[in-house]
Amino acid sequence: MSGEDNGERDEDRQNQPQGGQPPNQPQSGQPPNQPQSGQPQNQPQGGQPQNQPRGGQPQNQPRGGQPTGQPQGGQPMGQARGRQAQTGLNVDTNYLQEWVVYLAGLFGVGGLGLGVLFILVDAIDEPVFEASGGGLGAAVSTLSLSGIVPTMLVVLSVVGLFLGTWLGQNLRGGGQELLVIAGSSVAAGAAVFFFVSSLLVSVATDGASLNFGGLIINLILVALLVGVTAAGAVVVTRNLAPRDLSVQ
């Protein structure tokens, strides 16, 4: 009996965990399936949430806190550096705008001068040429000369515009003196041109003569308006010329 009792006691001691610890119980009283140091399962070390980049930076966010699709330096997309926007043709729009404004101003001055000149000539209604004699030949000659004066008005207005532009670019000085020089010189040239051309046309045309009263009135109007056009071109050139256009 004593031998059997001793054998049963040995078996009980083998099946008993050491230190009086219950079976299936982790050491140090830790619950089963519990990671060490009390950290929840599926939780990265250090208390950092899953799918969160290190350093607390949100996903899909570039380093430095700059939003995606935004160029460096806070400059909007499509904006060229140096504040000079450029078109798809590689043309500086600021430079293009300078030339557009300048040439539009010149054409505006020329159109205004020519339009006012035509209005005044039509309002006065003093012919430069008149028929000499009678018959069909005189009527045909007068009709053929009817387009001479409008043609001279257009030519003189365009020439005055270009001369004013050239004087504004190359003539030294400024202010009222420059305007007086440009306006008076161009007006004198237009008056001489109108008088000489009208005289020679009347001599070369049979059945037509020169009306000196109408010639003087129209000559004054032409000289005045062409001179004003030249002075306007000087003002536009001095104030709206592009940066690479050399002005004295």
In SS3 terms, 133-147 reads as: CCCHHHHHHHHHCCC
- Torsion angles phi and psi, residue 68, rounded to 5: -70, 150
Q: What is the pLDDT of residue 20?
A: 46
Closest CA to 149 of 90, 246, 219: 219
Asked if 81 and 182 count as a contact pair (C-beta separation under 8 A), the reply is no
Q: What is the pLDDT of residue 35?
A: 47
Residues with Cβ within 8 Å of 170's Cβ and at least 6 positions away in sequence, in order, are 248
* pLDDT digit string, tens, across residues 88-122: 567 788 888 999 999 999 999 999 999 999 999 99
Domain ranges for the chain, please list them. 93-240
Residue 41 Ramachandran class (φ > 0 left, ψ -120 to 50 alpha, else beta): beta
Whether the pLDDT of residue 78 is over 50: the answer is no
Q: What is the pLDDT of residue 183?
A: 94
Considering the chain, what is the average pLDDT of its residues?
Answer: 74
pTM here is 0.61
Q: What is the pLDDT of residue 41?
A: 52
Weakest-pLDDT range from 17-26, 189-198, 199-208, 210-219: 17-26
- State the Cα–Cα distance between residues 182 and 162, nearest whole angstrom: 11
- State the Cα–Cα distance between residues 87 and 150, nearest whole angstrom: 42
**Residue 232 CB neighbours (<10 A):** 24
Closest CA to 68 of 58, 54, 81: 58
How does residue 79 score in pLDDT terms, banded at 50, 70 and 90?
very low
How does residue 1 score in pLDDT terms, banded at 50, 70 and 90?
very low
How does residue 223 score in pLDDT terms, banded at 50, 70 and 90?
very high
Whether the pLDDT of residue 224 is over 80: the answer is yes
Q: What is the pLDDT of residue 209?
A: 81
Whether the pLDDT of residue 21 is over 90: the answer is no
Asked if 142 and 132 count as a contact pair (C-beta separation under 8 A), the reply is no
Q: What is the pLDDT of residue 52?
A: 52
Q: Using a pLDDT cut of 90, give the percent of the chain over it.
A: 36
* pLDDT digit string, tens, across residues 31-72: 445 444 445 555 545 545 555 555 555 555 555 455 554 444
